[in-house]
Structure 1
């Protein structure tokens, strides 16, 4: 009977151990690890952050240039005013124009200015003289000249040689000679010659060579271009 004491003590210890294990299994708390997702913008240690994706930008196209108007074809335009009292000549080159208005007696005016892309022009001269014109089709210019307080509407046509506009400047016997001529398509010449500023009807020129004679002196009138 005395030998059963240690054995009972051992069995009692085993029983207590089993009870304690059972209590730990049923009452223990389970630790759950929380998972943290990395921020898309955060880079892992030791790695380079990827650059942000480029945002497409809208490309602005330059506006298409507006079509330019029809410029006046280069050349010489000659004709008479609507009232048939005077002649008009306009020579055009490189978007520049020179005009001459003349009645063949004592009224004349030289004018100049620019030709716009739409074929219109506004030319000016001495003493407030002016001329406005616009291309009609491709072979005519219509407009109005204001000379010596008078207005002269006109429609003139593109000319062919020897029709055209001519001018002479020279010294003859101590006098200053200035002359202008409009040679019309029918061969008629309208011009004014000034001696020291005094106007008079101009003598005829040879339209093929420009030759003329003034007070016995041989001069040359040359085609006018801007």
Structure 2
């Protein structure tokens, strides 16, 4: 009988060794090769940047542009009234941005011209004659300068036959220039110059002609003379 006992013993030991090796392999923790870049988390540039408020909160609201509104200026208007503390009358007429003015107290006179814009009239005349006035609420209110002095005035709007009239003519070889102001209450004033001398010429009734040295002179209203003034 062959003796196989030791052989079986060795085989059994070999099998046991293999089994233990397998068990060791299955129970050991798994290992992996780790690349340094695997743990490197990309850092967003904004992570380290200081926190900034929302753009809408930090941007200042634009300052609204200031728009100037022009004051209304009548295209056509006639004003006439009294000069305070002077005794004379003043008349101002506006036609499409152009303006004329006349001051008279029966002894002296001043014709002025200029512009009307932004609710204001600015006029000037021979010598130092000047006038500035605001046009508001149907009234021209301002200051008249003449002969080195200044006076205030308020002149309401008037309708024909009240208002300002002017006449120019050649009478018997002499230049005639005249001006008249009529108020709604019937007050009137005027001055007629023949050459450079004041002439004694009665103020005509509204709508009638003046008579200068026996010759009739036709007063013209503002619409008839403003373009040539």
TM-score range for the pair, normalised by the shorter chain length: 0.5 to 0.7
Secondary structure of the residue aligned to 1:127 is coil
Q: Separation in 1 of the partners of 2:32 and 2:197?
A: 123
Shift of 1:15: 1.5
Cα distance between partner residues in 2 of 1:61 and 1:150 = 46
RMSD of aligned Cα (Å): 4.0
TM-score, normalised relative to structure 1: 0.67
**For 1:29-68, what aligned pairs fall within 5 Å after superposition?**
29-31=30-32, 60=62, 62=64
Shift of 1:99: 1.6
Give the direction of change, closer, same or farther, for the CA distance of 1:174–1:8 in structure 2 (3 Å limit). Answer: farther
Instruction: Say whether 1:87 aligns with 2:89.
Output: yes
What are the within-5 Å matches in structure 2 for residues 55-204 of structure 1?
60=62, 62=64, 75-83=77-85, 85-94=87-96, 97-105=99-107, 107-115=108-116, 117=118, 121-134=121-134, 138-204=137-203
Q: Is the 1:108–1:147 contact (alpha carbons within 8 Å) kept by the matching residues of 2? A: no
Normalized per residue, the structure richer in helix is 2
Q: Which has the higher contact order (CA 8 A, sep 6+)?
A: 1
Deviations 1:44-93 (A, max 9, x none): xxxxxxxxxxx768875845757766767953222333346322112234
Structure 2 gaps, min length 5? 46-54
SS at match of 1:78: strand
Q: How many residues align?
A: 209
Q: TM-score, normalised by structure 2?
A: 0.66
Secondary structure, in 3 states, of the residue corresponding to 1:23?
Answer: helix
| Unmatched runs of 5 consecutive residues or more in structure 1 | 42-54
In structure 1, the partner of 2:52 is none
Residue 164 of structure 1 and its aligned partner are, at CA, apart by 0.6
Q: C-alpha separation between the residues in 2 aligned to 1:124 and 1:144?
A: 12
